[in-house]
Structure 1
Amino acid sequence: MMKTIKQISALCMIGLLVLCLGSCDDDSELFAITAPNAPALADVAIKKIELDAVNTNNPAVSLNWTESDYGQQTAVNYAVQFSMDEAFSAPVTATSVTGRTSISLSIGEINSAAGNAGLNPFEWAPLYTRVVASLGTQQSESITSNTIQFEVYPFFNYVFNDYYLVGDATAPGWNNNNNNPPLFRDENNPSVFYYTGKFAENGHFKVLQTKGLWQPQWGTDDGATVGNNPGGGSDPERFPYGGGDGIPEGFYTFTINFSSNTFTFEPFNASGVSSPASLSVEGSSVASSQSLTPLTFDGHIWHVNNVRLTPGEVNFKTGAGASWGGPTSFSGVATENGGSIPVLVEDDYDIWFNDLTGRYILIPLNL
């Protein structure tokens, strides 16, 4: 009898659970919204803003807009966008807020937005802004405000990182401030760097971000992936093997990808490549021709330090009169009769050139 009661009770509980679930489904309501009204972005009082590179945290502009009504009590997302043209052909989202209808942007934030939108530094130009309202994490049911415009005078925003070699396989040895040769940044992918040159017998090396400082530093513990000590942590082992015996003396190409934390280290055939007798930097960006010096350790790596460049262009000229250049500023691959290297902003630069690969890098010292 007791067993039968237990069975009936269990069946009743299952039945009640099914009934409850069915009732919940019957009583569910869909989240319905009405066609939203666009936020109205108020004009700004100041129509010309000269951006100061010294006080980048100071407020530059305050934006205010009306709330967008979706017919429900829900938090609305607002993305603040900028563009160099009124059509917003390539909009840049400077920031996003939820449930707010005003924001203050700093000088640094406006300068970054202007640079990302394509405005040139040190020139007055119009900057267009708008607000895009939406719902949820997928930015659903988006609707765009009116557009307002003001003029800005941006300063230059150097967005690249630079990296240097150190180690007993390289020219500076284990001295972190000994004219350490830089890695050459890829002209299309700022996370990828190369160094093709001579490496010493039974040596190792690491990568530094700042000459004179040991952190951040990069190495490898397993010979396949990149390890990093940004400071306060444990140092990774040395390239290329993560410790143990060093490499045979010779020419190699070291490639490192800071985005994927991977690297390669492969032999390079330098036979038959003759370095020019002399090399100089010339062009409209230099007041006078600047001679480059090859490294004593590796005569294929040339450099000249602390050269003042102004906006314009430069080329590498050999003593035989050949001209080498490329189309990309700051870093790239130069070829003979390859045009001129654009210089975008005035500053003091360290200039490096590799005659094995044609790679060059111009590193600003004050930006």
Structure 2
Amino acid sequence: MKKIQKIHIFLAVLSFGLFTIACENDENIFTATETTPIVLSEVPISMIELDPSNPGNAAVTFNWNEANYNQQASENYAVQMSSDESFTNPVNATSVVGTTSATLSVNELNSAAGSAGLPPFMFSTIYTRVVSSIGSQNGLPVASNVISFQVQPYFNYVFKDFYLVGNGTSADWNNNNNNPPLFRDSENNNLYRYTGFFTKGGGGFDDGRFKILEVRGQWQPQWGVAAAEGSDTIESSGNIAGNPATQDSDPGRFGVASDGYYTFTINFSSNTYTMDSTDESGSTSFSSMTLQGDAVGTDTAFTQSSFDTHLWYISNVNLQPGDLQIMTNTGSTWGGSTSFSGVATDGGGSIPVVVQDDYEVWFNDLTGDYILIPQNL
């Protein structure tokens, strides 16, 4: 037996460019019945290799028959994709109203395939269906048959990276001086932190200051405090501003009141920051760090920062898909479970590398924070 659901639809008639109510009782009750599943046609090509040089080109077009809810209202159609035929974690690739076809561009199909969990640079099966519904609340949803085809997505590095600059940091006011990156939270891509040594330098009002850059070697985009320079007294928390993100003028400067270790946290969702003193006494001092694993092939030594001995980096190393660990001079092996950025722990498994490229790698032995920054993606 078909399900029956009452859907309230407000009728309006367009007359002389104005909406007027068609009758005294402006609420009319109509009955819609669940449609039989629509039929999604097979696509004419079984293997699609996505070309990143032409992201706006059409990649694939889907066609299906019209749903029948026994009402004159337009039907909604959502094209869903999944890495498995059961649609355990479906991804909405696109949605259309009142039409029985949809075309995805190269970029749109690549994004949907990536969100569905398909690995880049290899052919994998992607499953597709269309879910029809009716009304603004997407009532009476019914899924079509499932089709599948092979797709080879390319990789999009969707993350932003940020770098320290200023006389409170190792880079001084040089925007291209091996400026240390902030460490991105693996679960919140808008949350970044940096735990390390900051200096007050000469001790004056303008000393111990820093800002955040998005690109080494470029002064914009840059981020700082909301107060203008000169009025930017050193605070432990507050609002952030950016040029050009929030304004045309440069923002004020973050800062520290004295030499020491601090944890700087910046949230680009709330546009706020905190700067908290950190006690690093009692922490282990390591004399060497080595990157190892099948993703790197040959063990590669980190360079220890002379400004902050808890900060380690490799300026350039070619990594292949595989796993990484960080070996200390004490024999302990540190690893994490998330690619590109995360928190490593002693004996914590392996850091996954999902795509080949030349990488810049940074590791903080105080917090276990690591970040792998691809140079060409």
Q: Which runs of 5+ in 1 are unaligned?
A: 1-20, 241-245
Q: Which runs of 5+ in 2 are unaligned?
A: 1-20, 201-206, 228-236
Distance of 1:41 and 1:214 partners within structure 2: 51
Task: Provide the residue aligned with 2:31 in structure 1.
Answer: 32
Distance 1:218 1:138, change over 3 A: farther
Distance of 1:329 and 1:34 partners within structure 2: 47
Task: Provide the residue aligned with 1:44 in structure 2.
Answer: 43
Contact 1:186 1:194 in 2 (8 A): yes
Task: Provide the residue aligned with 2:192 in structure 1.
Answer: 193
1:272 correspondence with 2:282: yes
Task: Provide the residue aligned with 2:163 in structure 1.
Answer: 164
Structure having the higher helix fraction is 1
Q: Which one has a bigger Cα radius of gyration? A: 1
Runs of 4+ in 1 over 6 A off after TM superposition: none
| Deviation digits for residues 110-147 of structure 1 (CA, Å, limit 9, x no counterpart) | 11111111112233221111111222332222222221
Contact 1:285 1:313 in 2 (8 A): yes
Task: Provide the residue aligned with 1:228 in structure 2.
Answer: 242
Task: Provide the residue aligned with 1:180 in structure 2.
Answer: 179
Distance of 1:260 and 1:234 partners within structure 2: 20
Task: Provide the residue aligned with 2:204 in structure 1.
Answer: none
> How far did 1:28 drift?
4.8
Distance 1:66 1:306, change over 3 A: same
> How far did 1:181 drift?
0.5
One-letter identity of the residue aligned with 2:262: Y
1:315 correspondence with 2:328: no
> How far did 1:100 drift?
1.8
Q: TM-score, normalised by structure 1?
A: 0.87
Distance of 1:352 and 1:71 partners within structure 2: 61
Contact 1:217 1:230 in 2 (8 A): yes
1:93 correspondence with 2:92: yes
Task: Provide the residue aligned with 1:106 in structure 2.
Answer: 105
Distance of 1:362 and 1:263 partners within structure 2: 23
2:371 to 358, 361, 364: 361
SS state at 1:226 partner = strand
Q: TM-score, normalised by structure 2?
A: 0.84
2:220 to 209, 212, 215: 215
Distance of 2:139 and 2:353 partners within structure 1: 43
Distance of 1:28 and 1:206 partners within structure 2: 58
Distance 1:235 1:77, change over 3 A: farther
Task: Provide the residue aligned with 1:8 in structure 2.
Answer: none
> How far did 1:83 drift?
0.6
One-letter identity of the residue aligned with 2:150: E
Contact 2:73 2:135 in 1 (8 A): no
Cα RMSD, aligned residues only: 2.0
Contact 1:163 1:210 in 2 (8 A): yes
Q: How many residues align?
A: 340
Distance of 1:142 and 1:233 partners within structure 2: 47
Task: Provide the residue aligned with 1:140 in structure 2.
Answer: 139
One-letter identity of the residue aligned with 1:51: L
SS state at 2:48 partner = strand
1:350 correspondence with 2:360: yes
